[in-house]
Amino acid sequence: MSTNFAAFPGEICTVLTQTAKPGKAEELVAELNLLKASADSAAEPGTLQFDILRAGDKFCVVEKYANAAAIYAHTNRPPYKNLKLKIGDLVVEGSTSLTFWEPAESAEVPVGSGSHLH
């Protein structure tokens, strides 16, 4: 986990959490959906995942990118720049948290080791 992704060599996952201002949740959803549409388009081939999660006025955006260049490409697209201009009107000041994650290597579990879920 990090607050800086530039040194990550491969895939990068981001987790963003934030709280909408009172009465602004639906507007924030609309803006996030515009961002998701861009992320899911051919214009952003390095964006591998973009999910918006919600619990009331709290939001979590989980993203996965092929590499740092893909994040830079995403943040230079018009929907991202437009949201940045509006974010102060939509999100509670100080409620935003953004962390960058590298995928963990999966450890092989021997067959029959009893490590399955019940």
| Residue 64: CATH number of its domain | 3.30.70.100
Q: What is the DSSP letter of 95?
A: -
Domain around 42: 12-101
Does 57 reside within a domain? yes
pTM across the whole model:
0.84
Does 117 reside within a domain? no
CA distance 94 to 52: 20
Does 110 reside within a domain? no
Contact 8, 66 (CB under 8 A): no
pLDDT digit string, tens, across residues 21-33:
999 999 999 999 9
Does 111 reside within a domain? no
Does 35 reside within a domain? yes
Q: How many CA atoms lie within 13 A of 115 on its CB side?
A: 6
CA distance 84 to 24: 15
pLDDT digit string, tens, across residues 47-60:
999 999 999 999 99
In a 3-state reduction of DSSP, which class is residue 42?
A: coil
How many domains is the chain built from? 1
Please list the residues that pair with 58 across neighbouring strands. 19, 55
Does 107 reside within a domain? no
Does 25 reside within a domain? yes
